[in-house]
Amino acid sequence: MPEALKLYHAPASPNSRRVRMFLAEKGFSLPLVSIDLAAGEQHGDAYRAINPRRVVPTLVLEDGTAIGEVLAIWRYLEEAYPATPLLGTTPKDKALVTMWERRAELEGGASLSSLSRSSRTRRMASRSCSATSMQLAKSAERP
């Protein structure tokens, strides 16, 4: 695999993980550039120049072309480096792999993603409810 390829990713990002797993299954290793989502690094000018949508992962090719969707990254790697096919070799197999990938993303990944995003909100709401419950209990104890 050419060393000129770079994968911009976030270690905890599910989509980044999917691409890293694909690379591992293909037996590839390439330079990884970590983007700190918690610090908002994806919104900075430097990353915005690479991926205007400001999402990870993004694969940057030798010529500077940026590919920023999991399935598109997989497709590029599969077509450019076909030695270990992972996305099927026949039209039927390719269609089935795409179907299952979409189902997993839409029915599983999207749910996990929204759960992950909302977990912070739930924790904050839980703390707020606990504080409110404690205040109500204290006021009920007063004569």
Tell me the average pLDDT across 60-70: 96
Looking at residue 3, the DSSP 8-state letter turns out to be T
CA separation for the pair 62, 6 (Å, rounded): 8
User: For residue 64, what are its two tokens?
Assistant: 């500077």
Q: Left (φ > 0), alpha (ψ -120 to 50) or beta: where does 57 sit?
A: beta
Give the global pTM: 0.73
Of all residues in the chain, the percent with pLDDT exceeding 90 is: 66
What's the angle, vertex CA 94, arms to CA 90 and CA 98, rounded to 5? 170
Q: 75-103 pLDDT, tens per residue? A: 999 999 999 999 999 999 999 999 998 89
Tell me the average pLDDT across 109-123: 54
- Element of type H or E holding 15: helix 14-26
Residue 109 pLDDT = 60
